[in-house]
Amino acid sequence: MSRIPIPGTWQIGDDPGHRQFVELKGDEQGFALEGGAALRSVTVAFETWGQLNNGATNAVLVLHALSGDSHAEGAAGPGHVSPGWWDALIGPGAPIDTDRYFVVCPNVLGGCQGTTGPSSPDTDNILYGSRFPVITIRDQVAVEAALADELGIGAWAAVIGGSMGAMRALEWSVGYPDRVERAVVLAVSAAASAEQIALCSLQIRAIKSDPAYANGDYYASLTGPSKGLSIARGLGQLSYRTENEFDVRFAREVQDDEVPLHGGRYAVESYLEYQGEKLTRRFDANSYVVLSEAMNHHDVGRGRGGVAEALATVRARVTVAGIASDRLYPLKQQFEIARLLPGDDEVIVIESEFGHDGFLLETEAVGAVVRTALRD
């Protein structure tokens, strides 16, 4: 695979699209990480919509999930292989109204769409690969806080995210209570459960079992661990959707004229292969590993006396929502968050046939949640 000259960017061409880039230095030691290592500097790719007001009081931070990026809104095109992943929620008059708010969406630390990650060069211009350190959700939020400082944003009017993005929204609310006025957390837990860790771990093993993985140092080769990444994505996709959707959509249908008894595929097998192969064209396997491990480390209570004590310190007005059919982050986990937050918060339940992916696909219902949360 050839190296793309945009720092930290994986196979999306030389054009940065609408992204902006900033290099952050951290303190004298750089960015100290929870795992004990440090990064001397971090490049962050981000996109913005709307205008920051004079008092910098109208900024909204939108945070993407595992395979997302900074392109939350806008068409596909140069630098952006896909349309915005929350396109319907951001814009003039949209639930996150860019006539009113200045919206910022950064690519996460450890990612592969412009922000420092395993496919980025280090300070000696050598790609990190296997040398990229262990990171956590808390480390990612520390980098986002440094980005906010760079942009002159002392506090966010709102921090909004689903899944891994909601992990960071919770960390923002706990770790920086004076810098978050409102938060919207969708389809997430306060700490990764054993099952969630297991599912991520199997995906990591699938990638690392690919002979082309080469212990994470595959960038100089003509091929990478695309087969392992494709299998990992298929496992993930299975947990993102629901049994009922698969039954209705695929049942036992075969793919085209293939014959499963003679080596052909069922339609659902073809679907999972397609989802995996599609991801390999735009995402780095090392980033998938690093971010999945960060999700496994997710625990807002770590070093804070536990989840209950940590959530009790939140000062932001938090809206908690979940997807009724979500089998990856079941509703009981959102009810736990709401119960432990100060006040008497309820959980908004979104009905969907799409399971966990409902936070991305049910744009009308999710938009209504966000619009209500941002209402004065």
User: Residue 295, Cα to own-chain centre: how many angstroms?
Assistant: 9
CA distance 147 to 220: 31
CA distance 318 to 203: 31
Which are the contacts of 127, defined by CB distance < 8 A and separation ≥ 6?
A: 3, 118, 119, 120, 121, 219
Among 120, 173, 356, 357, which one carries the catalytic annotation? Answer: 356
Q: Give catalytic status of residue 357 as yes or no.
A: no
CA distance 160 to 63: 6
Structure tokens, 122: 């280090």
Q: Is 215 helix (H, G, I), strand (E, B) or coil?
A: helix
H-only helix segments in the chain: 137-151, 164-175, 194-209, 226-240, 243-249, 267-280, 285-296, 307-311, 331-340, 358-361, 363-374
- Alpha-carbon dihedral of residues 80, 82, 85, 89, nearest 10 degrees? 80
Does residue 72 contact residue 176 with C-beta atoms inside 8 Å?
no
CA distance 116 to 22: 11
**Max CA-CA distance within the chain?**
68
Q: Give catalytic status of residue 163 as yes or no.
A: yes
Among 210, 299, 326, 357, which one carries the catalytic annotation? Answer: 326
CA distance 290 to 19: 22
Q: Give catalytic status of residue 356 as yes or no.
A: yes
Structure tokens, 176: 């920086």
Q: 30 forms bridges with which residues in the sheet?
A: 27
Among 163, 226, 287, 352, which one carries the catalytic annotation? Answer: 163
> Which positions are annotated as active-site residues?
163, 326, 356
